[in-house]
A = this chain, B = another copy of it.
Amino acid sequence: MIDQKEPDNPVSAAVDPKEMRAVVLTGFGGLNKLKVTKKPMPEPQRGEVKIRVKACGLNFLDLMVRQGNIDNPPKTPLVPGFECSGIVESVGENTKGFEIGDRVMAFVNYNAWAEVVCTPLDFVYKIPDDMTFSEAAAFSMNFVTAYMMLFEVANLREGMSVLVHSAGGAVGLAVAQLCSTVPNVTVFGTASPFKHEAIKHSVTHVFDRNIDYVPEVKKISPDGVDIVLDCLCGENTGKSLTLLKPMGTYILYGSSNMVTGETKSFFSFAKSWWQVEKVNPIKLYEENKVIAGFSLLNLLFKQGGCNQVKTAVQKLLSLYDQKKIKPVVDSLWALEEVKEAMQRIHDRGNIGKLILDVEKSPTPLVSDVFTSTWEVLKGATEEESDKIVFLFLPSQKKI
């Protein structure tokens, strides 16, 4: 975990009760489209829970949202973020099952990166007493995704093998932990070389993400693997199908290859549709293979899958209680540090989950500058970073 200063004066201590702080995306684009502003306090509608947020999860998908690199992007300005943890502050009419003061984690269809969120009770889950808010914000999206892919789409069983990319990321680590709950499962992972030491105990074999993993896997397992979990997309679909054993399952659950620079690249979402290799069902018949896609957010917010997800959350919380799984938190960031946090995900610098800690004091931030100076700034003191920015950039202002 990156060292962060302890919070001293929580920013939310002396605020107008009709306002709250939130991260706002003012338009699709680079890091400079993100800012922290005051927003009107939301109030719970019928069937909703109002949560005083303690921590929010940051996912690669949030970066793609920022770029507008998703299907049917919503209108800006918007408050990003799909998951948080916190304390129930009030409930709307007809909202049974939650009491004020309950410690919870929740999915939100945007708006999670704020001091307060309201979301339908179907997306809210109580958390165990010994689960920290950071852990809870690192739990729902990544473990549910990993769980449903492994056990509901792919039917992971004893003796199988799994290939997962970004093995040092939050989903990758969740996959590895869940695989370890089944006897004799082999996990192949790809990750940046500097992460290999840190994750060598969670995956069986780890390969450099910059080399072609296909021959590396085949050297160890000539027949291939039973399950491929692909968050990259692009050419990896064809490569993965090649690697699958008969009766094997390929699951596409992300498209991080679409992100190259800070803003939406030429290889955008719409184009990728045409560039990804399509699959002939007769080929699947001949080869006895399964191809699937998994999008937890679509399942939750477009396809009415909240009950299926709730069942998965309950099973996962039981595994947490048995100490078989535990979210890995990479680092905590104040809301005002969201750009630095996002750059860290973009650079694939994290091992585990990045969390926005709502009560954390920000280290002073300079807006619009983090694209290229993050590596310099992150080790610098406040005074030093002011100077660095002053040296490299013509204009800057404190938030």
Contacts and interface: CB of A to CB of B under 8 A. Distances in A.
Contacts of A252: 281-282, 284-285
A305 B288 contact: yes
A155 to B, nearest CB: 5
B153 A247 contact: yes
B305 A253 contact: no
B305 A279 contact: no
A272 B152 CA distance: 31
Contact of A285 (B283, B295, B304, B305): B295
Interface centre among A148, A272, A292, A295 (most CB of B within 10 A): A292
A9 interface: no
A246 interface: yes
Contacts of A3: none
So how many copies of this chain end up in the complex? 2
A293 interface: yes
A294 interface: yes
Chain A interface, DSSP helix/strand/loop, else mixed: mixed
A266 interface: no
Nearest to A72: B286
Interface residues of A, number: 43
B272 A298 contact: no
A247 B279 CA distance: 18
A227 to B, nearest CB: 13
Interface string A185-220: 000000000000000000000000000000000000
A290 interface: yes
A305 B248 CA distance: 12
A67 interface: no
Interface string A255-293: 100000000000000001100111111111111111111
A233 B282 CA distance: 8
A308 interface: yes
Interface in A332-355: none
B280 A298 contact: no
A121 B330 CA distance: 53
Given A155-B155, A290-B153, A299-B246, A273 B280 contact: yes
Contact of A282 (B249, B255, B285): B255
A383 interface: no
Given A237-B281, A276-B282, A289-B292, 13 more contacts: A152-B247, A246-B303, A252-B281, A278-B279, A278-B281, A279-B279, A281-B291, A284-B292, A286-B298, A287-B303, A288-B305, A290-B291, A291-B292
20 contacts: A152-B155, A153-B155, A155-B155, A233-B281, A237-B281, A252-B281, A255-B282, A278-B278, A278-B281, A279-B279, A279-B280, A279-B281, A284-B293, A286-B298, A287-B303, A288-B295, A288-B298, A288-B303, A290-B291, A290-B292
Which 5 A-B residue pairs are closest in the complex by CB-CB distance?
A285-B293, A284-B293, A278-B278, A246-B303, A290-B292
